[in-house]
């Protein structure tokens, strides 16, 4: 699975959009981009995933560049409860990987009042 | 609506004890996983299972074993607990295999194990 690079930390004001970047320059054609977050003392929570097209759900939007070498997770109106570690993961949906995910260090997002 | 349940939130065990961490999911998922999480090291995969009685080593299997006798239950076993196994242990499950889209993991709340 391709490696990902994320900034170690980011800040955001409450009510503003939080834009979390992720670089995955070695991504291959059949690899998906997944985003998870982990709030302190809880297990990670699935947010969203995508392959080529931009995706949106009730939690967030995922913007993937045309060359697929980077992506941005957007939390449109960040709240204090969005303070968490955000993980960007790239993995293949094929082969015999059995859904295994490799977590990096992630980005610590702090939302300020 | 809890979907992945880990038997204990906090656990304290003595060095040399045999420790069982239990995980149960009610989503009929094929895949189940055990991770440990340590400060500065992130989440590391210990073992996973893609079917009943099947298991695969993850990145750090040494000192651990697993058991999956039923689809919904995946147990992590520390044969002889040591202090360097003090950690947060997280269980997860997911559906899908091979060429299908792997849907998101669902994680349990974690078990914080302290070995003294």
Query: Tokens 């045999």 appear where?
Result: B18
Maximum mean pLDDT: which of A31-35, A103-107, B14-18: B14-18
Q: How far apart are CA A52 and CA A13, in angstroms?
A: 30
Which of A14-23, A28-37, A77-86, B4-13 bottoms out in mean pLDDT, i.e. has the lowest? A28-37
Q: Please give the share of chain A, as a percent, with pLDDT higher than 70.
A: 90
Q: How far apart are CA B26 and CA B72, in angstroms?
A: 6
Kindly tell me the burial class for residue B22, based on how many C-beta atoms sit within 10 Å of its own C-beta (0-12, 13-18, 19 or more).
middle
Task: Give me the sign of the Cα torsion angle A33, B33, B110, B3.
Answer: positive
Contacts A98 to B, Cβ<8 Å:
30-31, 48, 50, 56, 97
**pLDDT computed for residue B7 by the predictor:** 87
Q: How far apart are CA B17 and CA B111, in angstroms?
A: 17
Task: Give me the sign of the Cα torsion angle A105, A108, B1, B7.
Answer: positive
**A69 — contact with chain B (CB < 8 Å)?**
no
Maximum mean pLDDT: which of A43-57, B41-55, B75-89: B75-89
Q: Pick the residue of A98, A103, A104, A107 with the most B CBs within 10 A to test the interface with B by mutation.
A: A98
pLDDT of residue B4 exceeding 50: yes
pLDDT of residue A93 exceeding 80: no
Distance of residue B110 Cα from the nearest chain A Cα, in angstroms: 6
Question: To the nearest whole number, what is the mean pLDDT of chain A?
Answer: 90
**pLDDT computed for residue A30 by the predictor:** 80
From the list B90, B94, B109, the residue facing A99 with the nearest CB is B94
pLDDT of residue A25 exceeding 60: yes
Residue A101, token pair as written in the block = 């995910």
Mean per-residue pLDDT, A11-24: 96
Mean per-residue pLDDT, A58-82: 96
Taking only the tens place, the pLDDT of each residue in B69-112 is: 999 999 999 999 999 999 999 999 887 654 444 556 889 999 99
């Amino acid at each position: 699975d391709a490696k990902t690079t994320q900034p170690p930390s980011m800040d955001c004001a409450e009510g503003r959009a939080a834009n979390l970047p992720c670089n995955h320059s070695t991504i291959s054609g059949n690899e998906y981009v997944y985003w998870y977050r982990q709030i302190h003392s809880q297990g990670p929570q699935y947010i969203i995933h995508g392959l080529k097209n931009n995706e949106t759900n009730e939690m967030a939007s995922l913007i993937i560049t045309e060359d697929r070498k980077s992506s941005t997770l957007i939390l449109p109106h960040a709240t204090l409860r969005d303070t968490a570690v955000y993980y960007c993961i790239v993995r293949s949906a094929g082969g015999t990987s059995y859904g295994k995910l490799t977590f990096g260090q992630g980005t610590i997002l702090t939302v300020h009042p | 609506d809890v979907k992945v349940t880990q038997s204990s939130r906090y656990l304290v065990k003595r060095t040399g004890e045999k420790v069982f961490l239990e995980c149960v999911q009610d989503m009929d998922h094929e895949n189940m996983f055990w991770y440990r999480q340590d400060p500065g090291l992130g989440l590391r995969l210990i073992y996973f299972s893609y079917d009943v009685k099947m298991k695969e080593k993850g990145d750090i299997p040494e000192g651990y074993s697993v058991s999956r006798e039923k689809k919904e239950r995946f147990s992590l076993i520390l044969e002889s607990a040591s202090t360097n196994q003090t950690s947060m242990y997280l269980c997860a499950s997911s559906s899908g295999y091979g060429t299908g889209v792997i849907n998101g993991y669902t994680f349990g709340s974690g078990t914080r194990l302290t070995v003294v």
